[in-house]
A and B are shown apart, each in its own frame.
Chain A
Amino acid sequence: MSTADERIRTWLQAAAPTHAPGGLLAASLARSAGLTARPPRSMVLGVPRVWLGIAATLGLVITSIIGLALAGGASRAKVEPSTRPAPTVALSRDFTSFLWSNGYGFQAGREPATGIVDAATVLDRAAERDHASAFGPPAAPLFGTMTCEWPSLCVPLVAGDRPSATPPDPLAVWLVAYPATDAWTLVDAASGAELTGSLGTLGSCTAADVGTNPFCTAGVEPPSDPLPVDVRYALAVWGQEFMIETVVSIDPGDAPTPQGGGLDPATIVASLAVADPRWSAPGPDIQGAMGWMACRRPACPEGVATRAGEPRRVWVIARADASSWVVVDAETGVVIRDDSSAVRP
């Protein structure tokens, strides 16, 4: 195998998931359980029976097809697709911060039809735990999967009185929010038990958000096309993984607004412009993405990670054409890297 072939093979092996998501087998078998398998072919003297009758039935078949076409359709066994579409929801910064600081990522998705505790049961059990009296009424639970993204950080999760599996495989969970008090809990979808120690606060809700968006991300749109691809490539080549939390368009003339957690991007751009006229001169739109950056190499460049292997909160500020970009520590405003020292694709 050539070197290039070996690289392709290595990449595919690394990119392939090791296990199917929990519940997929059960859901698949449940869907097929109600259907009748077609029987084996029957044979006559070694010839499929259907062939022996085909000559006799050919005329009838043709007539039937014409008749059905004229009638406007034929019926066949239908396999119903999966139920609801994935929910569209923006997660609060506090929730994602909590997860990432503990090494986990979260992806919202559609709950399987079987194999898990359903949303109604989750709410009933939340009522039994009497969270509502302390946190107010819960919102409709959101189904998703948690995955250990940073193995050095992932703490084992405890569901009820037993430890749940520590992923590398995705863990199916329900996220239950309590909008009145910005609280939330995580529930193990397989057992319905609350994940111990997960109770936290959303922290960024406004009065206008309560009751409309249980995850309280007012004013922040989910990222659609976060950063210029050249910037992402440069960050990847540099050796860093960059997980995006949000994206905003920045007008340097905007008054700074609190974003919750570190410096706001307008302030950062204003301070950059003092030393570097590229950021004050007219040009393509300036975009910013806040996220977590972690070093994925055995030896991390000094200053990138607060502790070896752990993520650091940063802003990536970039012109839309990637002509200028900079990575800035979100807490201190210190420039970590910029395009002058980066390798361009």
Chain B
Amino acid sequence: MGLVDAEAARGGDRAAFERLAAGAIDRLYAIAHLILRDAHQADDAVQETLVRAWLGIGRLRDPARFDAWLHRLLVHACTDQVRGRRRFEAAVRHVDFEPSTPDRTDHLADRDALERGFRRLSHEHRAVVVFHFYLGLTVPEIADHLGVPAGTVKSRLHHARQALRAGLDADGRQELAPTLGNVR
């Protein structure tokens, strides 16, 4: 169905494009949110991506590569956000809250360490991490999606892994055995 819709959308079929957009939007939003770590910027990046996709789909050479092409548009849109073209901040601030997941003893420490390490990465490195660890893509696939050489992907992935592992190792050196202390 995806290939058929991509072919049709490339020919100007608006309904086919809308089906493709509906099928991709959750994934696009998740990727943008992971890269940008900001809901509003992710919102804008996804909107820009779909607008650009509609504008450019007529020139998509291979409909079978629609997803890869869409991901590349998304990363470009995230880049635009990072460069500050549209920045909004709400004055009301909440601590980020995780959805309910099965608890593990080291889950919160991991989350804190990885969150801090991830935020220190550039958005280019974050994109590679997201595509590899979240989407499960190989290095050649990531290179295809991002439109960069495989060597660049390897380099970014290596650097990102080192940075994130260093954060985990540093926290792991602390004894994470909370005591009840003065609980009354």
Contact = CB atoms under 8 A, between A and B. Distances in A.
Interface of A: 4-5, 7-21, 24-25, 27-29, 31-33, 35-41, 77, 79, 81-82, 85-91, 105, 107-110, 147, 149, 151, 168, 222-224, 226, 232-233, 236-239, 241-244, 291, 296-298, 301-304, 334-338, 340-345
B23 to A, nearest CB: 10
Given A37-B12, A238-B178, A241-B95, A151 B100 contact: yes
Nearest to A147: B97
Given A16-B34, A86-B89, A5 B183 contact: no
B129 interface: yes
Interface in B64-113: 85-86, 88-95, 97-101, 103, 108-112
Interface string B23-66: 00110111101100001100110111011111111110100000
Given A29-B21, A343-B175, A304 B91 contact: no
Contacts of B40: 86, 109-110
Contacts, number: 221
B26 A28 contact: no
A18 B103 contact: no
Contacts of A238: 178
Interface stretch (B139-147, B148-156, B161-169): B161-169
A329 B26 CA distance: 40
Contacts of B57: 37
B114 interface: yes
A88 B114 contact: no
Interface of B: 10-12, 14, 17-18, 21-22, 25-26, 28-31, 33-34, 39-40, 43-44, 46-48, 50-59, 61, 85-86, 88-95, 97-101, 103, 108-112, 114-115, 129-130, 133-134, 161, 164-165, 168, 171, 174-184
A209 B108 CA distance: 40
A275 B55 CA distance: 69
B11 A88 contact: no
A7 B39 contact: no
A32 B112 CA distance: 38
Contact of B179 (A91, A341, A344): A341
Nearest to A20: B29
Nearest to B52: A79
A239 B26 contact: no
Q: Which of B46, B54, B165 has the most CB of A within 10 A?
A: B54
B26 A89 contact: no
Contacts of B181: 337-338, 340-342
A105 B94 contact: yes
A233 B47 contact: no
A303 B26 contact: no
Q: Which of B12, B43, B98 has the most CB of A within 10 A?
A: B43
Contact of B94 (A10, A243, A303): A243
Q: Considering residues B55, B95, B171, which has the most beta carbons from chain A within 10 angstroms of its beta carbon?
A: B95
A86 B90 contact: yes
A25 B181 CA distance: 49
A5 B136 CA distance: 12
Contact of A13 (B21, B134, B178): B134
A14 B90 contact: no
Contacts of B52: 79
A239 B108 contact: yes
A31 B47 contact: yes
A237 B108 contact: yes
